Amino acid sequence: MSDYYNPQRTRNLYDPAGKEPFRLSRSKIDLFLECARCFYLDRRLGVGRPPGYPFSLNSAVDELLKREFDIHRAKGTKHPLQKKYKIDAIPMAHEQLDTWRDSLRRGITFHHGSTNLLITGGVDDVWVKPNGELLIVDYKATSKKEEVNLDAEWQIGYKRQMEVYQWLFRKNGFTVSNTGYFVYCNGDSDAKAFDGKLEFDVKVIPYVGSDEWVEPTIVAAHACLTGDSIPVAGEECDYCAYRQAAGSARLA
Say what the pTM is.
0.90
29-67 pLDDT tens trace: 999 999 999 999 999 999 988 877 666 677 888 888 999
Q: Is 77 among the domain residues?
A: yes
CB-CB contact of 223 with 14 (8 Å): no
Q: What is the CATH number of the domain that holds 27?
A: 3.90.320
- Say how many domains are in the chain: 1
Q: Is 213 a member of any domain?
A: yes
Domain that holds residue 118: 22-246
Q: 23 near 52, Cβ under 8 Å?
A: no
Closest-CA residue to 171 (of 120, 209, 208): 120
Integer Cα distance of 200 and 214 in angstroms: 34
The whole-angstrom separation of Cα 23 and Cα 247 is 32
Q: Does any domain span residue 66?
A: yes
Is residue 99, in this structure, part of any structural domain at all? yes
Residue 127 resides in a domain: yes
In a domain, 164, yes or no: yes
Stronger pLDDT, 136 or 105, i.e. the higher one: 136
pLDDT digit string, tens, across residues 148-188? 877 878 888 899 999 999 999 999 999 999 999 999 887 76
On whether residue 45 sits in a domain, the answer given is: yes
Residue 17 maps to a domain: no
Confidence at 2, pLDDT banded by 50, 70, 90: very low
Tell me the pairing of strands 22-25 and 90-91.
Answer: unpaired
CA atoms within 13 A on the CB side of 230: 10
Average pLDDT of the chain, as a whole number: 89
